[in-house]
Structure 1
Amino acid sequence: MANQNQLQAMSAAQVTKKLLSNEPLFILDVRNEEDFKDWKIEGSNVQIFNVPYFDLIDGVDAILDKIPEDKDILVVCAKEGSSKFVGEQLVEAGRRYVSYLTEGMKSWSEHLEPLKIGSLHGGGEIYQFVRIGKGCLSYMVISGGEAAVIDAVRMTDVFHSFAKEKNVQIKHTIDTHLHADHISGGRALAAQTNGTYWLPPKDAEEVVFEYEKLEEEAQIAVGNTLIRIQPVYSPGHTIGSTSLIVDNQFLLSGDILFVQSIGRPDLAGKAEDWVADLRTTLYERYKALPEDLIVLPAHFGKSAELGEGGKVCARLGDLFKSNPGLNITDEPLFRRTVTEQLPPQPHAYQEIRQTNMGKMTPNDEEQREMEIGPNRCAVHDV
């Protein structure tokens, strides 16, 4: 718990540890109601209460009966300042275990937590990087002193630090598709490490940079133990979406298949054109793959998708039994499900696509603003 009678700072990393270890946490979110409803910190043992900051400028007496005295209390705002102000008032009012989220929800959007998913045949490991506040999932495949990073986010320092810790050199960066909800770090990371950047060519028709074509004939080897990454063309979320089979054990499904949902086909304005591709990928191409493959998606949408220790993964055969998006037998109903009544499109997704094509070069703060909010790559209410 936080120290008594003194406001404490709590980092996004510390909050993540609490959530993944299922520790109880009471959150007072002082952002406006609209922002709170759009995006918030969630967890299985989290209680959350929203009161806009402007309602608390004159004091917190009106809400004290709703603030527990025996739990860790985390005050959250957009950037930090408002939460510190309110947190100090709570301490003065006698609450003993009060912290504020350092750098606010912006820091929550950017934290990555590396988790080991499994070992590879003949040596090597695969890690999942959980961007818990944004729902993005990146991966690092390690073998024989080399590494490949898949669906890297723009905070590339995390991958550099982890590679250094593991004493490996990043040789490849791979994007399973042209992302629309977050800015890819793949191309930048490849440039920083003198590695090779791979992108599906059907998603790259408008890009303004050089890349290696991620196609089914490609065989990407990592390390001297030849851990192979086999691309599988799997359109539907985008026309170029390409899944990866790693070491005949893991299926990196990009934004085609999630643990509790399936990918949406509308983020390039092509929903009606791509819905048939999406169904073919899920109901034919994926159905023909070995059921024991462990599915590792590029995103998750709800905290309920976080499994043991925060990992997001599932056996392919189990998803064909439990995932609603894989069990819509009526084709017209499938079409309506993935083209109508979709969640809102990601914030600034058109600008993000342009950035990932190399046509825009926003500065760091502009990139942060473009990415604020939840990931919305899935059809969640299937």
Structure 2
Amino acid sequence: MNSSEAQKLLETFKILAANFLHFYCNFCIINVEIPFPGDVCFRVYNESIVINAQPYERRSNMQLEKCKQRCMQSQNGIYNCRSFVYDFADKVSLQIFRKNSSFLAYFENLKLLHLYLHNLNGRNINAICDFYTHQGDKLPAKLLKYYEHLYLEPTFADGCDFEYASRELSSTELLNVLTSNNTNQEICEKGKVAKFLETQGFKLDSANRVDLKGYNLDACSDACTNNINDKKDTFGCRSFDYHGNGCSLFGEAAVPTGTRQLKQDFHTSYYEKICIDANLMSNECQNVRRFPQMLLVGFAEIVVTARSLIECFENCLKSRQSFGTNCTSVIYFYEELEQNCILNSENRQTQRNLFVKENIDTVDYFEINCPLRKRKKVIDDLVFRS
């Protein structure tokens, strides 16, 4: 075989390998500079990530099709998916399409391709999806070349909402979602009590609910706290919607701590169960006002590192004991690993003009609804006992 024949055979092999992968895996891209045209619902860029931006949600152990489905189903809440990055996490995935010039390299990579497809069909790939509310090339965000990653944007072409957003989860997948572990516990451990984060003007976007008609707010709160439905059967409640005619209990929670989106509804309030140290909040104080994507600017009394939203909020409740300050509101940045918890000496009531929206980082602002006098007494009792 002369050199020209070998080169022709190599090019033929490249085409066969590309077609082989295309047949089994329609999201893998040969030309890293051009989006793959095979999926009319998503533009896909190979070996690309987003920098200078924070995702509003991260999901692990998801196949690409499920990430696409989740993005298309997240178009009507607080966070609307405009792009996401898919991280294969295993090193087999896209190595087969790095530039190689030898026939032997392509022959060996065919083995990698076989292994990759086996892992794909067996769902053994430990993939991660990061979802964003904007496109990756919108400043200050930028696209950066990076191995083992795909960047995708929904095209919103005709029929795509039906193709992806209308798909229902299987019963097994739904069970996994409803029982997934996170910071919102169905039953609080010893020494903690259930309280609720109250988000006014929103409802949970979920059809998997237990409706309690004619219940007032206290009765709905008790039902969710005690994990029972209207028939007094056990129900793992993590949140509920309340409106004038009753409430709906959910075994799910909203992002960023849960998996569901919130929808605006001015006649409804959303309540999410959390577990707080029993010594930190009085019985009169059952609900904590939550304001998604809001900040109070200029009144950070203390900035600390918290491992979770609950730890951050408890730092505010015991601020007088721990820091000698009076925390009246708290801000928590979900994606930051350090200095992510801000304890404020003022709140939105005292500084309305400095209560502003945050459009880049995933953040929540919280206030306690009960009067400061009652709250002060609880904290003073803690100081006295210490």
* TM-score range normalised by the length of the shorter chain: under 0.3
Larger strand percent: 2
TM-score, normalised to structure 1, is 0.27
| TM-score (norm: length of structure 2) | 0.27
